[in-house]
Amino acid sequence: MSLSQILERLLPLVEADLQTVVCPSHHNLEGYYGMMRYHLGWFDAQFQPRPANSGKRLRPVLCLLSNEALGGDVQQALPAASALELVHNFSLVHDDIQDRSRFRRGRRAVWDIWGTAQGINVGDGLFVLARLAIHRLTERGVSPSRQEAATQALDHACLALCEGQFFDLSFEERLDVDLEQYIWMIGRKTAALLAASTQIGALVATDDQELVEHFHRFGENLGLAFQIQDDILGAWGDESLTGKSAASDIQTKKKALPAVYALNQSLDPEAAQALAALYNREGPLDAQATRQALAILDRVGAREYAEGMATRYYQQALESLAPLESQPGIQTTALAELCEMAASLLGRQA
């Protein structure tokens, strides 16, 4: 089944459940929840319904597929799927404020329309709604022990995400970020929530911790590959496909993998020094400096290095699930769909 078919099957379930969660309890709160609904892609800035542009809802779909692969019921797992999506969006609202990013998915960011204070409040509300959502698991027939395990996994992922953001923000003022620190950071900021998505989907379906660990490793490695792929697109992506300015990560001097690799070049110290000189300049890089930085990355083979690392993590993700294919009780169709989704997200052939 293709990624579009997977999303066509599962996204309506996720959207319907999310809309029951992000719903005002009183008419006086229409504006507050309207901002959340705007961010989630359901409303325009005047709080009028619009054609949804909510993205792939990657995390809840991974959660539901992992649950299905272990014979679970997606209707039971939906509260967890919604919680994961709300945590992700809480982080995006706050991330836009911290980065002063004025746009999100081609529209003005929440803070850019309603101000920083309301943006913080919207992010906080989405976080609390995520916590309330996952507690609905027991209402769907999930045992209290599994609900508690899923909640703890979500909380650990939230903390890891915040830790990763702390390091990502601290990297902005540094040129001494090494490859180990970069992997440590993206393992928290990006991979932790993807790992929690597959882990929680499994936790709702089974008490077998060995099986759960396979799904956790799959999500973690997929998350690392996914972030590295995003770093590649941030330097060399097609603007018409990514929705971001070409070489946006280079212009903003982001310590993404290609730049970190080049800055740590011991075999070509002149290239490392030249990139460091560009990144030490005040403000964003202009067009000429951006071209110079990209030329340095090409000189040291930064793209090839990043692509190779993304491939290794992708292969490790698939290897995490491979031992399960012949085990009794495993739903091989859902397992194959997980692998198909991983391949599609990374622009590969399954």
Q: Per-residue pLDDT averaged across 101-112, rounded?
A: 93
Whether 126 has a pLDDT exceeding 60, the answer reads yes
Residue 101 lies in a domain: yes
- Position 103 scores a pLDDT of 92
What's the average model confidence in pLDDT over 206-227?
97
CB 144 within 8 A of CB 134: no
In this prediction, residue 56 carries a pLDDT of 77
In a domain, 316, yes or no: yes
Residue 350 within any structural domain of the chain:
no
102-113 mean pLDDT:
94
For residue 331, pLDDT beyond 80: yes
Mean pLDDT of 107-123: 97
What pLDDT does residue 238 have?
77
Residue 246: name the closest of 277, 287, 281 by CA: 287
Please report, as a single letter, which amino acid is at residue 45: A
Using an 8 Å Cβ cutoff, are 306 and 257 in contact?
A: yes
Angstrom distance (rounded) from CA 204 to CA 147:
7
Span 152-175, average pLDDT = 96
Average of per-residue pLDDT across 196-213: 97
Distance CA 99, CA 127 (A): 19
Domain range for 159: 3-345
- Terminal C-alpha separation, the chain: 11
Inside any domain, residue 171 = yes
Q: What is the mean pLDDT of residues 13-34?
A: 96
Nearest CA to 156 out of 97, 218, 220 is that of 220
pLDDT at position 350, please? 44
Distance CA 110, CA 123 (A): 9
CATH number at residue 293: 1.10.600.10
Q: Are 282 and 254 in contact (CB under 8 A)?
A: no
Q: Residue 193: inside a domain, yes or no?
A: yes
Question: Structural domain tally of the chain?
Answer: 1
Neighbours of 326 (CB within 10 A): 8
pLDDT tens for residues 241-273?
555 566 889 999 999 999 999 999 999 999 999
* Residues written for the chain: 350
Q: What percent of the chain has pLDDT over 70?
A: 96
Sequence-distant (6+) residues with CB within 8 A of 223 are 186, 187, 190, 191, 192, 193, 194, 195
The whole-angstrom separation of Cα 276 and Cα 176 is: 10
Could you identify the residue written with the tokens 């906080």? 124
pTM: 0.94
* Helix/strand/coil for 281: coil
Collapsing DSSP states into helix, strand and coil, what is residue 103?
A: strand
The per-residue pLDDT for 311 is 96
**pLDDT at position 166 over 80:** yes
Residue 228 pLDDT > 70 = yes
Residue 180: count of CB within 10 angstroms of its CB: 10
Q: What pLDDT sits at residue 144?
A: 97
